[in-house]
C-alpha cells in the first residue's frame, strides 16, 4: 500500500521505553522480597551465559530516581515496567510485603512527577518460587486465586495513579520456553504440560481483567503478546496453506482467547488428536468470554516463513528411498513423540531469503512490523500499544567514552517508519515502547546482548560502578519524541 503522504502520529501518542523487573532491579532479597523461579533457574549450571543472574542486575531498585531523571531528560512520555510478584507477596499469596509495595508506589510517583505515563506489567515471567514449589506453578488452578490476590493488592494501591496495565507479557514465549524447550523455568519438555498451564494462565488473565473492571473502572488493561506474521515460502497453494496453519498455531491460539474468549477450532482439533489439548472444566469458557481487553500490547521483533509440512511434501519416491528411516516420518512416530511436535503435520519453518539477521540470528523485517499491526488490528478491532520493539547488539564504548550505535538508530528508524505507515493505513495506536530504556540482563544472554538507549557499564563478571551513559540512539530518540515522529524518514 503506497501513500504519497503519511499521517502524523496522534498528538497524545505515548513515546516510551520498556523494561522488566528481574532484568533490571537486582536487590533479589532486599526489604522482604521472596525468591522467584528465575532466582532459582539462573543458578542451574549451563542455563545462562557465563552463569549470569539478576541478583544485582543493573541495580535499578536503588537507582530508579537516576534512571527516571534520564528518562525525563530524554523527553519520554511513557515507561513500561513490571512488578516483581514476590516483592509484593514473598510467598506468592498471603501476607503483603509493605516495603515492596512502597517501592513501586514511589517508582510510580517519581514517573508522574516527571510527567511520564507509567505502564504497569503485572507478570513478566518471574513467578514466586513458593507457588512453584507448593502448587507446581501455573499447572495448578490454585495459582489463579494467588494471582487474583496479587492483582487486588496492586489495583487497590495504584489503581488511581496508573491508567495502563498489562496482564501477562508474552504468554506464548514463557510457556513455550518453560514447558517445551526447558530454556526457561520450570525447565520442562512436555507439550501436554505446556497447553495445560497455558489454559490456566488464560483463566488467570480473565480473572485479573474482571477484577480490574470493578476496582479500576477508569483504567485500561490488556495482555502483551509476542506477535510475528507468517509468510509462505512460495506462491504454491501448499505453502500458503502452511502459513495459514502456522498463523493459527503461533498467533491465533493465544489472541483469540484474549479477544474472543474461545480457542480457534483448527488448532484445538489438532491438539485433541494428539491428546495434548487443555482440560476445559465447567465454567471456563464462560469466564474467558467475560474478559475482553481494552487494548492489545504487541511485542514485535520478527515473524517467520513456512513451507508445506514435511510429510505431504515428501514424494512417494523419497518415502521408498533406501536411505529412508522408518522412524523419520512424523506419522510413523510413536504417539507420545507426535504430541511433542504438534506443528509437524501443519507446516515446516524455513529461512526467508529476503531478510538479513541480527548477530543473534533474528530476522530483521521492518515491513513485517506493519504487516503485524495490520493483521492484529483487522482481526480483533482493538487499539494497539506497541509494548516492545528493539535491537540487541554488542555495543562498544569508544576511546572518547561514547557509544555510536548507528545500527540501532537505523533499525528503530525503519520500524517506526513502518509503524507510521500502519497509522496511515488506519491502525489505532496508543503508543510505542522501545525495548529497552537501559541495558539490562538479557535473560539467557547476560549483559553482552544490549538493547538500551542508555549504556550500563558492567560486564557478566564485573559489576563495576554501573555508570549510566546515554548512547547516540538516546539523543536520536529524544529528537524524534520532541517532533512526535514528524521527521522520521
Q: What digits encode the pLDDT tens for the residues 200-216? A: 999 999 999 999 999 99
Q: How far is CA 106 from CA 35, 88, 95, 158, 421, in A?
A: 22, 14, 20, 10, 38
Per-residue confidence (pLDDT) for residue 326, from 0 to 100: 37
Residues in the chain: 489
Give the phi and the psi of residue 348 in degrees, each rounded to 5. -130, 140
Shortest CA distance to 379 belongs to which of 251, 465, 191? 251
CATH architecture of 14-482: Alpha-Beta Barrel (3.20)
3-state helix, strand, coil in the chain (%, to 5): 45, 15, 45
In the set 25, 117, 388, 418, the catalytic residue is 388
CA distance 466 to 303: 34
pLDDT along the chain (489 residues), means of 10: 92 98 97 97 94 96 98 98 98 98 98 98 98 98 98 98 98 96 95 97 98 98 97 97 97 98 97 96 97 98 95 57 40 61 93 93 96 98 98 96 97 98 98 97 93 97 96 98 93
Strands 14-18 and 78-82, bridge-based pairing: parallel
**Is residue 487 within 8 Å of residue 6, measured between CB atoms?**
no
Per-residue confidence (pLDDT) for residue 45, from 0 to 100: 94
| Residue 259 in grid coordinates | 479477544
Q: What is the pTM of this model?
A: 0.94
**Is residue 80 within 8 Å of residue 124, measured between CB atoms?**
no
The answer to whether 359 is a known catalytic residue is no
Q: What digits encode the pLDDT tens for the residues 233-286? A: 999 999 999 999 999 999 999 999 999 999 999 999 999 999 999 999 999 999
Per-residue confidence (pLDDT) for residue 365, from 0 to 100: 97
Burial class, 141, CB count within 10 angstroms (exposed 0-12 / middle 13-18 / buried 19+): middle
DSSP class of residue 241?
H
Amino acid at each position: 500500500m503506497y501513500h504519497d503522504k503519511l499521517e502524523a502520529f496522534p498528538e497524545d501518542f505515548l513515546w516510551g521505553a520498556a523494561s522488566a523487573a528481574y532484568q533490571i532491579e537486582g536487590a533479589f532479597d532486599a526489604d522482604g522480597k521472596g525468591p522467584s523461579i528465575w532466582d532459582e533457574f539462573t543458578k542451574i549450571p549451563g542455563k545462562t551465559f557465563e552463569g549470569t543472574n539478576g541478583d544485582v542486575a543493573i541495580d535499578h531498585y536503588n537507582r530508579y530516581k537516576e534512571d527516571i531523571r534520564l528518562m525525563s531528560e530524554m523527553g519520554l512520555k511513557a515507561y513500561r515496567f513490571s512488578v516483581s510478584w514476590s516483592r509484593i507477596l514473598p510467598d506468592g499469596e498471603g501476607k503483603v510485603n509493605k516495603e515492596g509495595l512502597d517501592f513501586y508506589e514511589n517508582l510510580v510517583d517519581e514517573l508522574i512527577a516527571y510527567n511520564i505515563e507509567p505502564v504497569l506489567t503485572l507478570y513478566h515471567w518471574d513467578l514466586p518460587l513458593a507457588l512453584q514449589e507448593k502448587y507446581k506453578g501455573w499447572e495448578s488452578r490454585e495459582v489463579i486465586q494467588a494471582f487474583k490476590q496479587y492483582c487486588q493488592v496492586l489495583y487497590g494501591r495504584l489503581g488511581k495513579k496508573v491508567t495502563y496495565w498489562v496482564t501477562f507479557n508474552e504468554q506464548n514465549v514463557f510457556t513455550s520456553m518453560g514447558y517445551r524447550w526447558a530454556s526457561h523455568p520450570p525447565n520442562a519438555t512436555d507439550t501436554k504440560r505446556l497447553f495445560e498451564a497455558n489454559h490456566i494462565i488464560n483463566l488467570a488473565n480473565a480473572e485479573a481483567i474482571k477484577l480490574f473492571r470493578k476496582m479500576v473502572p477508569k483504567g485500561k488493561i490488556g495482555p502483551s503478546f509476542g506477535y510475528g506474521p507468517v509468510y509462505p515460502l512460495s506462491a504454491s497453494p501448499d505453502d500458503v496453506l502452511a502459513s495459514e496453519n502456522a498463523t493459527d498455531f503461533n498467533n491465533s491460539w493465544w489472541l483469540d482467547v484474549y479477544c474472543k474468549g474461545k480457542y480457534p477450532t483448527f488448532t484445538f482439533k489438532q491438539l485433541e488428536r494428539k491428546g495434548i489439548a487443555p482440560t476445559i472444566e465447567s465454567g471456563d469458557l464462560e469466564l474467558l468470554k467475560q474478559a475482553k481487553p481494552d487494548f492489545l500490547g504487541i511485542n514485535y521483533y520478527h515473524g517467520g516463513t513456512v513451507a508445506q509440512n514435511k510429510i505431504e511434501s515428501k514424494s512417494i519416491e523419497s518415502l521408498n528411498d533406501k536411505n529412508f528411516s522408518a522412524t523419520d516420518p512424523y506419522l510413523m512416530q510413536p504417539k507420545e513423540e507426535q504430541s511433542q511436535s504438534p506443528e509437524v503435520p501443519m507446516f515446516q519453518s524455513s529461512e526467508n531469503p529476503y531478510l538479513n539477521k541480527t548477530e543473534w540470528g533474528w530476522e530483521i523485517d521492518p515491513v513485517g512490523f506493519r504487516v503485524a499491526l495490520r493483521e492484529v488490528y483487522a482481526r480483533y478491532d482493538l487499539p494497539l500499544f506497541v509494548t516492545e520493539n528493539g535491537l540487541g547488539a554488542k555495543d562498544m564504548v569508544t576511546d572518547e567514552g561514547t557509544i555510536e550505535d548507528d545500527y540501532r538508530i537505523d533499525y528503530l528508524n525503519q520500524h517506526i517508519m513502518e509503524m507510521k505507515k500502519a497509522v496511515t493505513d488506519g491502525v489505532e495506536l496508543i503508543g510505542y515502547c522501545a525495548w529497552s530504556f537501559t541495558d539490562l540482563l538479557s535473560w539467557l544472554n547476560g549483559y553482552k546482548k544490549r538493547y538500551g538507549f542508555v549504556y550500563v557499564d558492567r560486564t557478566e563478571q564485573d559489576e563495576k560502578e554501573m555508570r549510566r551513559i546515554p548512547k547516540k540512539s538516546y539523543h536520536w530518540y529524544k529528537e524524534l519524541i520532541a517532533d512526535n515522529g514528524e521527521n522520521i524518514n
